[in-house]
Amino acid sequence: MTAGLTTIVLVRHGVTDWNRDRRFQGQIDIPLNDEGRRQAELTGRRLASDPDRGRIAAIHTSDLSRAAQTAAPIARALGLPLHTEPLLRERNYGAFEGRTHDELAQQEAEAWSRWRAREPDFELPGGGESLRAFHARVERTLLGLAGRYPSATVVAVAHGGVLDCAFRIAAGLPLDSPRGHDLLNASLNRIAFDGERFHLLGWADVAHLEDALDDVEARG
């Protein structure tokens, strides 16, 4: 099914304390908690036993520690070096970062409403990225990975917002459409590039985990 295609296996980082608190992380460097570290180990074991393992050529990760800490056990399990890619970082959420959903709904009512509406060109207060700019960054990065590893598989460990953009790119969904797809911690999410466009192969696979949280930051 994937012969001749470049496959990207997108892995969302394991769970953090801020995920549990429903607190925006964005580009703040929050580490995994104990549960997240266990999820990372299980994800490495899952990929090491994957039928597609022989095609996996490389592992790339966001430079934020919660992603890098998820990627490290995967790299060990596969016996591959780990490449750091800052462009796989989460969206810059500006003044939203470090604050909970309830706090923002009360303290930043207008910005909160516009974020919830998924306005593509709305730049989040405090120097945050617009959804359109973030989506363009993710698309450039995915195309770069696909071009670098033709007809192979690459693992990319990133964040919920990155996965949301990847799903929309592969499924052809507009930026402002409501999200109906899961973005689960330590999940496996597969897309393929045929030389012209991306396609969905599989999404939100957490068969290797006991539990996984959805990403509320990318909910909108």
Q: Is 91 labelled a binding residue?
A: yes
- Residue-level pLDDT at 210: 74
Question: Is 90 among the catalytic positions?
Answer: yes
Average pLDDT over residues 17-26: 97
**Average pLDDT, integer, range 181-203:** 98
β-strand partners of 100: 23
Annotation-wise, does 14 bind a ligand? Answer: yes
pLDDT at 4: 85
**208 in active site:** no
16 is in an annotated binding site: yes
In the chain, the domains with their CATH numbers are 6-205 (3.40.50.1240)
The pLDDT, as a whole number, for residue 220 is 44
The pLDDT value given to residue 106: 97
The mean pLDDT value for 156-161 works out to 99
Please tell me which residue in 90, 97, 129, 217 is annotated as part of the active site. 90
Q: Nearest Cα to 139, choosing from 88, 208, 104? A: 88
Q: Is 140 annotated as a binding residue?
A: no
Read off the pLDDT of residues 102-148 as tens digits, 9 standing for 90 and up.
Answer: 999 999 999 999 999 999 999 999 999 999 999 999 999 999 999 99
Question: Of residues 13, 60, 159, 208, which has the active-site annotation?
Answer: 13
Tell whether residue 185 is among the known ligand binding residues.
Answer: no
Residue 17 among known ligand-binding residues: yes
> Would you say residue 213 has pLDDT above 80?
no
Residue 6 known to bind ligand: no
The mean pLDDT of 10-25, rounded to a whole number, is 97
> Is the confidence at residue 26, as pLDDT, over 90?
yes
What pLDDT digit, counting tens, does each position of 42-67 carry?
Answer: 999 999 999 989 999 999 999 999 99
Q: Mean pLDDT, the chain, as a whole number?
A: 95
Q: What's the full length of the chain, in residues? A: 220
Average pLDDT of 20-25? Answer: 96
